[in-house]
Chain A
Amino acid sequence: AQTVTQSQPEMSVQEAETVTLSCTYDTSESNYYLFWYKQPPSRQMILVIRQEAYKQQNATENRFSVNFQKAAKSFSLKISDSQLGDTAMYFCAFMNLQGGSEKLVFGKGTKLTVNP
Chain B
Amino acid sequence: NAGVTQTPKFRILKIGQSMTLQCAQDMNHNYMYWYRQDPGMGLKLIYYSVGAGITDKGEVPNGYNVSRSTTEDFPLRLELAAPSQTSVYFCASSSLGGRTEAFFGQGTRLTVV
Interface positions of A (Cβ within 8 A of B): 4, 6, 32-33, 35, 43-45, 47, 50, 91, 95, 97, 100-109
A101–B56 contact, CB under 8 A? yes
Q: State which of A32, A103, A108 has its C-beta within 8 Å of the C-beta of B42.
A: A108
B55 to chain A, nearest CB (A): 12
Residues of chain B having any CB pair with chain A under 8 Å = 31, 33, 35, 41-45, 48, 50, 56, 58-59, 88, 90, 92, 94, 97-99, 101-102, 104, 106-107
Task: Return A104 CB to nearest CB of chain B, in Å.
Answer: 6
- B58 pairs with A103, CB closer than 8 A: yes
Return chain A residues, CB-CB under 8 Å to B90: 45
Contact B97 A97 (CB under 8 A): yes
A sample of 17 cross-chain residue pairs with beta-carbon separation below 8 angstroms, ordered by A number, consists of: A4-B42, A32-B98, A35-B98, A35-B102, A43-B88, A43-B106, A43-B107, A44-B106, A45-B90, A45-B102, A50-B101, A97-B97, A102-B31, A103-B33, A104-B33, A104-B92, A106-B35
- Are A106 and B106 in contact (CB-based, < 8 A)? no
Q: A43-B106, A107-B42, A108-B41 are in contact. Are A102 and B88 (CB under 8 A)?
A: no
When chains A and B are docked, how far (Å) is the Cα of A77 from the Cα of B27?
29
* Bound Cα distance A103, B102 (Å): 11
CB of B49, distance to nearest CB on chain A (Å) = 11
* Given A45-B92, A104-B92, A91 and B42 contact (CB-CB distance below 8 Å): yes
